[in-house]
Amino acid sequence: MSLPVVLDPEARDEFDQAYDHYERQRAGLGERFADAVQAVLDRIGEMPWLHRTVVGDIRRAVVHRFPYCVYYVRRRSASECCRSFTQGATPGSGNRVRDLRRCLTPHRTT
């Protein structure tokens, strides 16, 4: 049974910006990026415990063929994708970790 994956508005904005960036680089590359991200979101919905935790209960799923990660938290009724970053901007210091925690706090879907 697959659980829904809920995108935080900030994660949606980051995805849209990355899509536009790749599409400007080469026609069709944005679509390939979107397909790769969708595959990750599907995998999160099907196997939310698959990816390792990086900060507290925040997990990181790497998007194949693109330098991009999706950060999410598994809840009882859904997985919430809180942020998405290029791999070079992996959270691990101060502001990024606070940003991840802050964007998760308002949406508790238990």
pLDDT in tens, 27-59: 999 999 999 999 999 999 999 999 999 888 889
**What tens digit of pLDDT does each residue of 3-34 get?**
888 888 888 888 898 899 999 999 999 999 99
* pLDDT tens-digit readout, 55-105: 888 898 999 999 888 888 888 777 766 666 555 443 343 444 445 544 443
Give the CA distances from residue 55 to residues 68, 91, 96, in Å, rounded to whole numbers and listed in that order.
17, 8, 10
Structure-token pair, residue 35: 């397909």
Mapping DSSP to helix (H, G, I), strand (E, B) and coil, where does residue 26 land? coil
Instruction: Identify whether the C-beta of residue 38 lies closer than 8 Å to the C-beta of residue 47.
Output: no
Given the DSSP bridges, would you call strands 5-7 and 79-86 parallel, antiparallel or unpaired? parallel
CATH 3.30.2310.20 is the classification of domain 5-104? yes
How is the chain split into domains, by residue range? Answer: 5-104
Q: Say if residues 33 and 22 touch (Cβ distance below 8 Å).
A: yes
Phi, psi angles (nearest 5°) of residue 68: -145, 140
Using one digit for the tens of pLDDT, what is the confidence trace for 55-64? 888 898 999 9
